[in-house]
Structure 1
């Protein structure tokens, strides 16, 4: 029987109290922030943010608990933006929306950093017995695309270095049930030619660094056919599909033409729209998608938002967490 799991892609909005408090604290600690360090008051505030974000997921009833990435001011570029071998440049628009990040300019070898592992270690200490931790990281292609290479000098070498860096970060993580790798650049700026094969190899490098179930999720569209065909060679447990902003016909064509993995992740709740979905409708969408893939029975179906949730007001984000939890509890409709 297929297991339905309610989870998210992380990157949650800051609690309302934290927005002003952190803004004030960072304003008084600009000297510390130049090199990516944080003063004790800022660290303490983020610890409270983490507690709030985990409580939100617990109260909603999600099946996997993420750390929430409240510190990730630079969005998916964060793991590089805080690295000692990276200098942060000017402000860059984050994809095609009104969010921004500091351009991470890689100027030296990317060695293991442990920043994300420290976050997840702290999150582990907040979990109750029986709760399952989910790690979230950018995929290697997206992280390479969001960065500027001023050290390696070759696109293929840079992508491989990013993959090795992410793999080392994964190896440092505490035990986790699932790992979501978020790689939207594969949709918004798809690779060409031999880069497709290199991307598949890079994903393999990262995925092989954990014994957890690995979900590789892109969004803001559907994969080009050649990209998807190459990704099928990557040793991950599930692919994730954006059924909100993506072209569902293209998703289904790729899956039915080239196959997919034994698990699947479905982005069915809009992470950028304040309209709150009905749980029954989301459950029906899960049924509909799986019915369109008649040749495969999935071991696990992950129900997720189609994007990060930091775009939403706090009250709406909490509602959407509950929608996901309720949707997977809705009985499956028999064909």
Structure 2
């Protein structure tokens, strides 16, 4: 018997009212909505957004509550985009989809900003228990950025890991930390670099006084990348069973996984809303197809950010996910 903990990787879509209000307040360029110097009116709007995010998650009954990342217009590049040592330049495509972010170019020594910690502090005022932090993993954050300061890929990755670890040091108490690592799938590290990526994730995880999930998505990891990721001292690895269930099952069956696991079983990019029974069947399918693995805790989650979805669809998906039985019998 495994315990099912329902959660999400955050990055929710802005409510329609917020899109309109923020557009009016900050002009019509989406990339300028975040510059680290928001006016009081902008701060008030984001506070209302955060409150709506938290209220809906709690009313739905999700086990872990995220801040929602309404300010993260640069998506998982956000923590760098607001750093003093970073210049945000041209608009670039976010992986291979139709979303875009400002390219963060590191021009000086990175130092923690406390930006994400401040968001979590604000969310913690509404959340009695189950608060979950969300950060980009160090490999993905370094992959999305450009280095004009450190001069070496390895040194840059280490600096990004240190930057994230320092950010975590300022966090309030959280129960879980999701490190989002889509670049491990989308732009996998080469031989030698895969071990360094694992070490960087390990360094970030070590800074957290929480259960840490290294969540990968938009496909499955290459075997060698996965084998090295297993060396990182995280509590769970996340798998996107919407985008690629066969290869993810293979990795778990061939190389094992942690005692806990995160299963991306709700589609964060498709407007079709899954029924709770369908979500439960997907969880059970993983168990049936990995009979040698006994998961203690299953983090049932949306596979990707829901940033791309209409608000009513993402909210319906949260409702369906929260309604999944909290215990499932796995073969």
Q: Which residue does the alignment assign to 1:319?
A: 316
Q: Which residue does the alignment assign to 1:249?
A: 246
Q: Which residue does the alignment assign to 1:211?
A: 209
Q: Which residue does the alignment assign to 1:151?
A: 149
Deviation at 1:296, TM superposition (A): 2.0
Note the residue ranges of structure 1 that are not aligned, 5 or more in a row: none
Q: Within 5 Å, which residues of 2 pair with 1:212-231?
A: 212-231=210-229
SS in 2 for 1:191: coil
Structure 1's 249 and 204: CA in aligned 2 closer, same or farther, altered over 3 A? same
Q: Which whole-Å CA distance do the structure 2 matches of 1:333 and 1:174 have between them? A: 34
Q: Which whole-Å CA distance do the structure 2 matches of 1:33 and 1:27 have between them? A: 8
SS in 2 for 1:72: coil
TM-score (norm 2): 0.96
- Number of residue pairs aligned between Structure 1 and Structure 2: 330
SS in 2 for 1:198: helix
1:277 corresponds to 2:274: yes
Q: Which whole-Å CA distance do the structure 2 matches of 1:263 and 1:179 have between them? A: 13
Deviation at 1:28, TM superposition (A): 9.3
Q: Within 5 Å, which residues of 2 pair with 1:33-48?
A: 36-48=36-48
Q: Within 5 Å, which residues of 2 pair with 1:127-206?
A: 127=127, 129=128, 131-206=129-204
Q: Which residue does the alignment assign to 1:307?
A: 304
Q: Which whole-Å CA distance do the structure 1 matches of 2:189 and 2:284 have between them? A: 32
Note the residue ranges of structure 2 that are not aligned, 5 or more in a row: none
Q: Which whole-Å CA distance do the structure 2 matches of 1:316 and 1:35 have between them? A: 29
Deviation at 1:16, TM superposition (A): 1.6
Runs of 4+ more than 6 Å apart: none
Structure 1's 28 and 141: CA in aligned 2 closer, same or farther, altered over 3 A? closer
Q: Which whole-Å CA distance do the structure 1 matches of 2:65 and 2:34 have between them? A: 31
Deviation at 1:259, TM superposition (A): 1.1
Q: Which whole-Å CA distance do the structure 2 matches of 1:5 and 1:165 have between them? A: 29
Q: Within 5 Å, which residues of 2 pair with 1:44-83?
A: 44-83=44-83
Q: Which residue does the alignment assign to 2:119?
A: 119
Aligned partner (choices 212, 236, 248) of residue 238 of structure 1:
236
